[in-house]
Structures are given as structure tokens and as C-alpha cells.
A = this chain, B = another copy of it.
Amino acid sequence: MSQAETKDSLKSRGLRLTRQRKILLELIDGSGKHLDAEQLYQMAQKIDPKLNRVTVYRTLKMLKQGGLVDELDLMHQKGDQHFYETRLKGEHAHIICLRCGRVEEFFGDPLQKLRKQVEAHFGFEILITRTEIGGYCSHCQRLRSREFEDVRDSAERPRRKTAKEALD
């Protein structure tokens, strides 16, 4: 969304385009990554050291409610925080590798079909959708099978992880 459109969107709801909001909007629009509140806060502070973490949270909440950004969980692979992206690109799913953390985006007709079927089937008015898929990317599949072989071929007794270790 252009700066001008965003400005209009805020104005029309009686909201103000403050110095802090300008900084945060540029960071979200410009980064092209999925940033969480803490990352945004760190980046914003380099521009305006007085900008408070609370302002970041309040701004994100406002942008989310205004439909200007989407909130992601990314399968909570890194923790329980939320990530944000603009609504510029069309609807897409997020594919998260549970080993290396890499995130891919998938645009494809199943997402549109799902949307249409849900609207038709339930008479539902859709405002937000979130599709997240967790597993192993092709690269990590190879690494995992090699790790597995290493354990079996190892000179050490191929001890299985204790249950406690497995939980960590």
C-alpha cells in the first residue's frame, strides 16, 4: 500500500499519522520480511531512540484491526510472538521448515477455492485467513537422513535420546 493510501485509510477513521507511525509503516512495508514486534522495535529505535516498545504494539494492533497488515504465527517455531506483513501481496500460505526455520510463500488456486467453498457452504463473510504448513524443506530432509545414518554407523553405541532430551 502506498504511503498516500495508508494515510487516507487512517484519516478516514479519525486516526493520526504521527512520526512514530510513519517510521513503523516504512519498516513493515519496506523490509519484505516477516518481522515481530521486538525486531520492529529494535529497528525503529535506531531511527528514533525514544520510540517506545508499547507504541510498536499499539501501532501493530491498530494496523491489524484496520486490515492494513496481517498477523502470522509461523507455527510458533521461534516462540509465541507474532509476525507481521503488509496485505500488498495476494492471499498466500506460509510454509515453515521446522528444522532450519526458513519460510516460503505459496500462492495457488486451492486457497481461492477454499475461500469460495467456505463462503458458499457456511454463508460466511471472510475477513482474514491464515494457512501455515510445517514440516521439512527438501534441503533439511537430506540433512536429516544423513544425520540419521551417522548415528547408526557411529562407533558409539547408537543410544536413543532419553525422553527428557527429546523434550528440550
Residues of A at under 8 Å CB distance from B? Answer: 13-15, 58, 61-62, 65, 71, 73, 75-76, 80, 93, 95, 97-98, 104, 106, 108, 110-111, 113-115, 117-118, 121-138, 141, 160, 162-163, 166-167
16 contacts between A and B (CB under 8 A): A14-B162, A65-B166, A95-B118, A106-B117, A108-B117, A115-B133, A118-B133, A122-B137, A123-B138, A125-B135, A126-B134, A127-B135, A128-B133, A128-B134, A129-B133, A130-B134
Residues on B with C-beta less than 8 A from A124 are 95, 97, 104, 133, 135-138
The one of B108, B127, B128 in contact with A114, judged by C-beta atoms closer than 8 angstroms, is: B108
Tell me if A's interface is mostly helix, strand, loop or mixed. Answer: mixed
